Amino acid sequence: MKENAVVFVTDKGFLVPSLVAALQVLEQREASSAADIVVVLIDIDQGLHQTLERLFNPLGISFFALDASEFLPSEGAFFNKTHVPKTTLGRLALHKVLPDHYVNIVYLDGDIQIVGDIGPLLRHHVAAGKIAAVTEGNWLCEGDMGLYWPKHQAYMTALGITDPLDYFNAGILAFRLDTWREMAPRALAYFTSYPERCLYHDQSALNAVFHGHRECLSPIYNYASLYADLNLTAEVSPRIIHFTGGNKPWHYAGPPWNGRFLTIYRTFLETYPQLASFLDLRLRQDARSAGLDLKDLIRNRLVQPYRRQRRRVRLRRYLAEGKFVV
């Protein structure tokens, strides 16, 4: 039995993107030989669960069922409204269904594309009591004029974080399963106790409980949209692209990826038509691109180029000087 597992946690809404990413892990020989690929299914009916096992078990993907009652807060509890579903909290309960023989876990969100070698990430074993994650790109906005940065700074301060480089994105994580058994319940308890602080739900709670206990991963393993907006992709050569924000590549063909990944999802649904009802590939237009007012035009032509250039310089320096475990 393997000690390593690559784990996805999904409901029906992110089922197809998660399976696409899981198959991309399988395509990497080192990854598939070193780790099991596991998909934890939240509130998926037995019939669909069996269909998924029939289609993907022979390829090397295992499935475990997780009931949302294991992690969802009580009815009426505060949950900040964003594009993120409440089932994102499910990753805080994955230890309840994973077999005990797994020691090292790499957790991946479903809204990603694996575009490079993730072997170094799988080979790295995180120290007990710690979590490995990539710094969230918000730090690039420090010093910007406007209301965003003061609000973000106040949000981090409420979580006990003073240095923006200490705040991480929770879309790609690595940790020991025994660490997760101890810390994930603490994060869920933090979310339940301080929901108004947890504007980004479980990510907020994980940052609070793991503050000071993180191993820093390079942004190439979680190249989020704020990084991608800087047009440095060819230079940086990311290995995992993360579609943060509400615009996902299966229904949005705008920047920064401009439809690059849409064909991958279409091909998947052509291969597995029985799953077509779980992903709507109809493109929609981003609200900001539908009609730009004068304020938008000034921002795009005057402010954004300056900000983008400053952020490019910051990111290049961070990648050159950063002390990453991988």
pLDDT at residue 1 in the model? 87
Q: Which residues pair with 40 in a beta bridge?
A: 9, 64
Residue 178 within any structural domain of the chain: yes
Does 250 reside within a domain?
Answer: yes
Contact between 173 and 107 (Cβ < 8 Å):
yes
Domain that holds residue 114: 4-321
Question: Comparing C-alpha atoms, which of 175, 89, 187, 173 is closest to residue 134?
Answer: 173
Cα 195 to Cα 200: distance, rounded to the nearest angstrom = 10
Number of structural domains in the chain: 1
Question: Is residue 326 situated within a structural domain?
Answer: no
Task: Please report whether residue 52 resides in a domain.
Answer: yes
Instruction: Please give the angle made by the CA atoms of 121, 127 and 129, to the nearest 5 degrees.
Output: 120
pLDDT of residue 143: 87
Contact 40, 67 (CB under 8 A): no
From CA 178, how far away is CA 263, in angstroms rounded? 39
- pLDDT given at position 144: 86
Residue 277 lies in a domain: yes
Provide the CATH number for the domain around residue 309. 3.90.550.10
* Per-residue pLDDT, 83: 75
- Between the alpha carbon of residue 7 and those of residues 83, 184, 190, 256, the distances in Å are 22, 15, 23, 27
Sequence-ordered list of residues with C-beta below 8 angstroms from that of 202, at least 6 positions apart, any chain: 88, 89, 91, 92, 170, 187, 188, 191
Contacts of 199 (CB under 8 A, 6+ apart): 80, 155
Write the DSSP string, 43-101. Answer: S--HHHHHHHHHHHGGGTEEEEEE-GGGTPPPTT-----SSS-GGGGGGGGGGGTS-TT
- Tens digit of pLDDT per residue, the chain (326 long)? 899 999 999 999 999 999 999 999 999 988 889 999 999 999 999 999 999 999 999 999 999 999 999 998 877 778 888 878 888 999 999 999 999 999 999 999 999 999 999 999 999 999 999 999 999 999 999 988 889 999 999 999 999 999 999 999 999 999 999 999 999 999 999 999 999 999 999 999 999 999 999 999 999 999 999 999 999 999 999 999 999 988 899 999 988 999 999 999 999 999 999 999 999 998 876 544 444 455 555 555 555 778 889 999 999 999 999 899 99
pTM equals 0.93
